[in-house]
Structure 1
């Protein structure tokens, strides 16, 4: 399709009102090839030739050479660049040369593992090279066969944690001969999930060492700023070879920044992002352009599916059944059906969460619509790259929300297009998570002092806590697990809150699941829950039973909850003095309470009502950065505004909104609170904290880049055209105080006092 012509048509359409904020035309590139340093095994060469592979892109050759030389390798190239061959070739080559060699392939989802299993099958090397998946769907008989004979086992971190490591005596031969551990989509392992997986991998390396093996790690990632640091923090190995020069061909991409039009100039209020994305989605699908719409949340994917089907019913009723939604929470059967229909072309369009951001093969899509900034430069390119295959042209459209971050990008497109990707934050020494995995490790095999180096610098302190609790008992130089249960079963590696909440209809049928960290916000009484285009209302939240009871509901609104936060400082680990203020990083106790929810009208986003809630408080220890405003600056600010708390509150909201500039974050990952005078600092203070117990590294990253974050915040407030503050700069939909008080102009003046001389442009940083 001629996408330049398509944009011209859009500009002439009846609903166009200047939404195109920027068009970036990214030229394609021709393939660049490299040479292998050694000949491939004849059977492998024959298998590759049968698929038309006679030469390797330059990054593939570099990665294969390094892997076959025995080095840890991390490949950091774009979507659809052929990263699979970077690990399949050295692994299969080794197995063909040394039939006792074994490999684990770890994928974050079962769907990815099944997709890669199909690619291995297509090589036609079975049974000379034997491979199989090993997950929760594998039967007992199949598991025995896999352990006994498979060269390559495709699994996920959950199964490694729950099924393989605790039963390692059944894997003795496999672990003794483990040569490779492949970690695909490594950038997914951040935050809580990443901290858990880092400990699972250390447990794996510990058992391999016991059996006399020392496996190589071959990692693949989307483009990120810190591939070496992430590889080392995740796996515990050092000095990986980083392969980041992409030699794969790419087609010309047209990338559009689309800003919904203003409907209230004074309040800077815009047309709903969902409405704009749906219009574009339906327009492209109606022209039979195969399109994927990415959304930030499950609810958004369901909303867009519902909107699209309503519009297509009038515009092109024959296409209503050719669009679908895809997200976590669907059953395995439902997800597989959507994947197959996408790949075959039966579906023309899909609205998906980032569940389809990863490398599942869904065929040749032509256009991608991103409903809101995905949270990082890396994820944006990953999602955009799901459209476009080989040298075919592609269209990507980022439809902005009215959030501070997204309006900042709409006003500073060069910041995005000229910027390298963000860091992936990972804290493998989260004490709460580490203690859980120390118990798992001790269950697998008694811990020794030699293990402490492998398990991380915080392990010794955590062992003391576990000894005091009595869950570990020391016998000489070893620690033994002192309980009769199975500790891995109590550790959910995808959260810090244990088992998920079940969502059941009034007849007891399972509708979906929700993470404990989100349950109070998403499943409170009165909440609207969307699933497969159907609408449900929460009747009851059974906290002790970890379930929500829902009933079908035909309503014209959705819901969004708000919470309040109180914070106590435990201790400051470090501080840094700037010219006009001081910042700190340390440990805090956060108490959060969901207090109300908004009923927001579909399509228009109008707030129909605000309903109070009475839910228990949730308290946890985590990491935070905070900075204080000295009395001298407060006196200067008083000449400009008497609303010091409103100024602090507005600054806090805007700064948190720009946190994704530093690292990919979700709304639940980070929080903030501001005080006119905090009891522990005795000064006006702003706090930014990790949203999970123990911390995940985001507050620390913000502490290390605080001046940059505050400069970007000042730029945002300078550029926003509103007068009193709006959702595009200082208002937050998550604020439990209903955005009161807020003083945008006071916040800008406070930033000028904190930072000194004004800067009109925020410089992009890698």
Structure 2
């Protein structure tokens, strides 16, 4: 309740003010029952100025009675009409579902879509008696009540037994592990029987690779149950095993080794005993293969080559698996440089009530908190999926403030803490977890009833809500749309959400990955002059940098080269920035991303706790071996702010790879040098998400430069809009800046969620826009956008045109970007609309003057 006076009944303390998603405010008097919509943040007015507008609207007779408000909200698509929601419930026999009715009839959100995701039975295959495997395996399957296989399991077993490379695509908890474990164990048994030698039996024949240590330990139990039937040994080896376990491993190596690519890379470059034990491998399972995207996938591509280089067998049979991979053939061919046969199953367990909700009269966070509270109140165990570690931490922070017992599950937390959280959740001692995509993977965390997710592509969401209702109970899944352009689009076009799939991508041609991996190859085993012929360009670069040297007709690493490779992180090209608290290392972040989080005085989230960066040493990028670190200090629990950096970026074209015309606009895909500067930061008030106080600028900016890939193009001049303004240069620049924002944010689902891996630069009034990969050397995201750029332009135009906001700069639903380095300043919605319209009208634009010295907006 506010202190403002109602102009109708003349009473104070009865006027309520509610924010609407399009930046308008709704003034309501609970005493005399009148209400008025008022423009909120137009021209950055304060609330007193908005109140004057409320009074003026009243004087002009522009008010509505509260009993008519509901109709008005329905007409403006702020809430869904009651009868439409009722019809949906009746159609799906859900009229008696009290929980769902409370959620759908809140009158705080717009129901964009609702549907039942029905259980789909997997296609049945043959009786287990018909399997060409050892009778002990058949007897075991019968003991656990598996008398008939699914069709995809049968097909997988037969093809793997025949030596085929395959990719198994089937839903979570559908039996993929059995589909690849049974045939591999059968082949190992046959091979060991042929050898008939006890010493030879103690060798590693199969590698089972998982993306996380938690998943390794979870899957070990399943695999061991089958393997021990035939006396096949299975062990885990990774960075978490203890010294005595390591000693036992070396004495008695297993037939099946469960590990991860990080461990393999470490031991190959150090030429350890473990690395030497890998040279007998014949079979390799890569589970959750869709996770090996971007830079990480580029590294995995080369690790596979390095591993095969050292093998006595010379060729590994590859078995990959995933719950979702729409471009399986293309992706696996890029990752493994070979064709894998696709085996697919579309079934799923349990019935899911699925709703897409768009918060209109409350914030996105309020929607998430409300859904979480309702699920817990009805006894439904819930995962709230976030798309970044910061958003997972922020949600848990607010949930705790609202009395919710919650934990954060994400990468980077200590293994002991992670296991405790998983056990609490599995045993129903914890009812809700705030998670990053770590819990999309197949870790056994017990029965889940509901999933609440931030926006992700539909195939990622299906994997997320595959967590719910696995035991056949009724489940719930909610997609909570947010304050962003793509959410605004899906509110109006929910049918497109189901068509916009994530297409995993990787870039095996990344020159920086290739450089570091060839250096690693020289550490695995010296590269002969003969072998180096196919690698000549990279070898010459490494020689010029004095990272390798020629010795007795072999290329070997120098001391400097060895130092560089030992500090390298597989999951990113950039040097790691080490994070310290109380003189103890508590984490690390890769550059260039660390620039945005670990500058002096930045507020940094870790494990649900906020810290402040006391000192930061992130010097200008000169070479890979520079040490970089940040020291944190604690802050009071009630500290009201977090921080956002002020960023500048400057591009330089190094090489043009490809160019084409989109409509009549010239677009180039090229190699770029990006100079990134952090010049200061803003304080953001938690809860209100608004900047407070003046921007703080550093005496000297933090500078980092790196080479990556991206697209560059010049957009048409918005002549019609510019005629309306005398001093129009800022209007023009702001229009180009807004166009850059919406082309990145609005194309997210067209590119399979790639916007999180992209950065953008708008070069002043030149009309030149650069959209680049955020990773050093490139990650494939901008190439994906380049290939689908015409559709991205169409989508961006629709988002701007259909957004109902009347603010000159637009709003979070159309022009704003949470990644904006200029704090969403210098934006102009109507100018951006004209720019995109002119492109679609085939206005001819050639990229001539690249205008690199213009002021850049990002």
Q: TM-score normalized by structure 1?
A: 0.88
Equivalent residue in structure 1 for 2:343, among 243, 246, 266: 243
Q: Is the 8 A contact 2:131 2:138 kept in 1?
A: no
Is it true that 1:8 corresponds to 2:101 in the alignment?
A: yes
Q: Tell me, in whole angstroms, the C-alpha distance in 2 between the residues paired with 1:170 and 1:283.
A: 50
Q: What is the Cα deviation at residue 433 of structure 1?
A: 1.3
Q: Tell me, in whole angstroms, the C-alpha distance in 2 between the residues paired with 1:82 and 1:562.
A: 49
Is it true that 1:278 corresponds to 2:369 in the alignment?
A: yes
1:220-270 alpha-carbon deviations (Å, 9 max, x no partner): 12322311121122122x221012233x442221211111124xxxxxxxx
Equivalent residue in structure 1 for 2:746, among 628, 652, 658: 658
Q: Tell me, in whole angstroms, the C-alpha distance in 2 between the residues paired with 1:483 and 1:305.
A: 45
1:533-571 alpha-carbon deviations (Å, 9 max, x no partner): 333333332445513222132213333334121111112
Q: Tell me, in whole angstroms, the C-alpha distance in 2 between the residues paired with 1:661 and 1:84.
A: 30
Equivalent residue in structure 2 for 1:607, among 666, 670, 691: 691
Q: Tell me, in whole angstroms, the C-alpha distance in 2 between the residues paired with 1:134 and 1:618.
A: 37
Q: Is the 8 A contact 2:718 2:834 kept in 1?
A: no
Q: Is the 8 A contact 1:44 1:92 kept in 2?
A: no
Equivalent residue in structure 2 for 1:745, among 830, 843, 846: 830
1:448-503 alpha-carbon deviations (Å, 9 max, x no partner): 477569xxx8x432112112233333468753334474664222101222334224
Report the more deviating stretch, 695-704 or 401-410. 401-410
Aligned twin of 1:434? 514
Aligned twin of 1:463? 539
Q: Per the alignment, in what secondary structure is the counterpart of residue 400 of structure 2?
A: helix
Is it true that 1:205 corresponds to 2:308 in the alignment?
A: yes
Aligned twin of 1:56? 149
Q: Per the alignment, in what secondary structure is the counterpart of residue 407 of structure 2?
A: strand
Summarize the alignment of residues 23-62 of structure 1 with structure 2, pairs less than 5 Å apart: 23-35=114-126, 38-62=131-155
Q: Is the 8 A contact 2:647 2:676 kept in 1?
A: yes
Q: Tell me, in whole angstroms, the C-alpha distance in 2 between the residues paired with 1:471 and 1:404.
A: 46
Q: What is the Cα deviation at residue 281 of structure 1?
A: 0.5
Q: What is the Cα deviation at residue 718 of structure 1?
A: 1.7
Q: Tell me, in whole angstroms, the C-alpha distance in 2 between the residues paired with 1:66 and 1:710.
A: 44
Summarize the alignment of residues 346-745 of structure 1 with structure 2, pairs less than 5 Å apart: 346-370=429-453, 372-374=454-456, 376-417=457-498, 419=499, 421-448=501-528, 451=531, 459-474=535-550, 478-483=554-559, 485=562, 488-504=565-581, 507-543=582-618, 546-554=629-637, 555-614=639-698, 615-629=701-715, 638=722, 642=728, 643-665=731-753, 669-676=757-764, 684-723=767-806, 724=808, 725-745=810-830
Q: Tell me, in whole angstroms, the C-alpha distance in 1 between the residues paired with 2:160 and 2:658.
A: 40
Would the alpha carbon gap of residues 170 and 10 (structure 1) be closer, same or farther in structure 2, given more than 3 Å must change?
closer
Is it true that 1:184 corresponds to 2:184 in the alignment?
A: no
1:369-390 alpha-carbon deviations (Å, 9 max, x no partner): 11x213x333222222222204
Q: Tell me, in whole angstroms, the C-alpha distance in 2 between the residues paired with 1:78 and 1:756.
A: 44
1:324-348 alpha-carbon deviations (Å, 9 max, x no partner): 2222232111100001111111111
Report the more deviating stretch, 113-122 or 701-710. 113-122
Q: Is the 8 A contact 1:103 1:152 kept in 2?
A: yes
Q: Per the alignment, in what secondary structure is the counterpart of residue 198 of structure 1?
A: helix
Q: Is the 8 A contact 2:709 2:772 kept in 1?
A: yes
Q: What is the Cα deviation at residue 111 of structure 1?
A: 0.5
Q: Per the alignment, in what secondary structure is the counterpart of residue 752 of structure 1?
A: helix
Q: Per the alignment, in what secondary structure is the counterpart of residue 679 of structure 2?
A: strand
Q: Is the 8 A contact 1:73 1:219 kept in 2?
A: yes
Q: What is the Cα deviation at residue 640 of structure 1?
A: 7.4
Q: Is the 8 A contact 1:574 1:584 kept in 2?
A: yes
Q: Tell me, in whole angstroms, the C-alpha distance in 2 between the residues paired with 1:5 and 1:606.
A: 36
Q: Tell me, in whole angstroms, the C-alpha distance in 2 between the residues paired with 1:578 and 1:545.
A: 42
Q: What is the Cα deviation at residue 726 of structure 1?
A: 0.8
Aligned length: 719
Q: Is the 8 A contact 2:271 2:523 kept in 1?
A: no
Q: Is the 8 A contact 2:748 2:755 kept in 1?
A: no
CA RMSD for the aligned pairs?
A: 2.7
Q: Per the alignment, in what secondary structure is the counterpart of residue 832 of structure 2?
A: helix
Q: Tell me, in whole angstroms, the C-alpha distance in 2 between the residues paired with 1:91 and 1:144.
A: 26
Would the alpha carbon gap of residues 528 and 481 (structure 1) be closer, same or farther in structure 2, given more than 3 Å must change?
closer
Q: Tell me, in whole angstroms, the C-alpha distance in 2 between the residues paired with 1:190 and 1:391.
A: 33
Q: Per the alignment, in what secondary structure is the counterpart of residue 89 of structure 1?
A: helix
1:13-64 alpha-carbon deviations (Å, 9 max, x no partner): 5xx4233222122222123212387422122223333333222222222222
The answer for unaligned runs of 5 or more in structure 2 is: 1-92, 193-200, 619-626, 844-858
Q: What is the Cα deviation at residue 438 of structure 1?
A: 0.6
Q: Is the 8 A contact 1:47 1:124 kept in 2?
A: no
Q: Is the 8 A contact 1:536 1:553 kept in 2?
A: no
Rg comparison, structure with higher value = 2
Report the more deviating stretch, 28-37 or 78-87. 28-37
Q: Is the 8 A contact 1:74 1:227 kept in 2?
A: yes
Q: Tell me, in whole angstroms, the C-alpha distance in 1 between the residues paired with 2:244 and 2:607.
A: 34
Q: Tell me, in whole angstroms, the C-alpha distance in 1 between the residues paired with 2:786 and 2:205.
A: 43
Would the alpha carbon gap of residues 54 and 562 (structure 1) be closer, same or farther in structure 2, given more than 3 Å must change?
farther
Q: Is the 8 A contact 2:382 2:449 kept in 1?
A: yes
Summarize the alignment of residues 26-425 of structure 1 with structure 2, pairs less than 5 Å apart: 26-35=117-126, 38-99=131-192, 100=201, 102-123=205-226, 125=228, 128-147=231-250, 148-164=252-268, 166-167=270-271, 171-172=275-276, 174-176=278-280, 178-208=281-311, 211-236=312-337, 238-246=338-346, 248-262=347-361, 271-312=362-403, 320-321=404-405, 323-370=406-453, 372-374=454-456, 376-417=457-498, 419=499, 421-425=501-505
Would the alpha carbon gap of residues 288 and 144 (structure 1) be closer, same or farther in structure 2, given more than 3 Å must change?
same
Q: Is the 8 A contact 1:272 1:605 kept in 2?
A: no
Q: Tell me, in whole angstroms, the C-alpha distance in 2 between the residues paired with 1:165 and 1:44.
A: 38
1:58-116 alpha-carbon deviations (Å, 9 max, x no partner): 22222222211111111222222222122211211112222257111111111110111
Q: Tell me, in whole angstroms, the C-alpha distance in 2 between the residues paired with 1:71 and 1:56.
A: 20
Would the alpha carbon gap of residues 351 and 697 (structure 1) be closer, same or farther in structure 2, given more than 3 Å must change?
same
Q: TM-score normalized by structure 2?
A: 0.79
Q: What is the Cα deviation at residue 638 of structure 1?
A: 4.8
Q: Per the alignment, in what secondary structure is the counterpart of residue 146 of structure 1?
A: helix
Q: Tell me, in whole angstroms, the C-alpha distance in 1 between the residues paired with 2:120 and 2:586.
A: 46
Q: What is the Cα deviation at residue 200 of structure 1?
A: 1.2
Q: Is the 8 A contact 2:682 2:696 kept in 1?
A: no
Q: What is the Cα deviation at residue 594 of structure 1?
A: 2.2
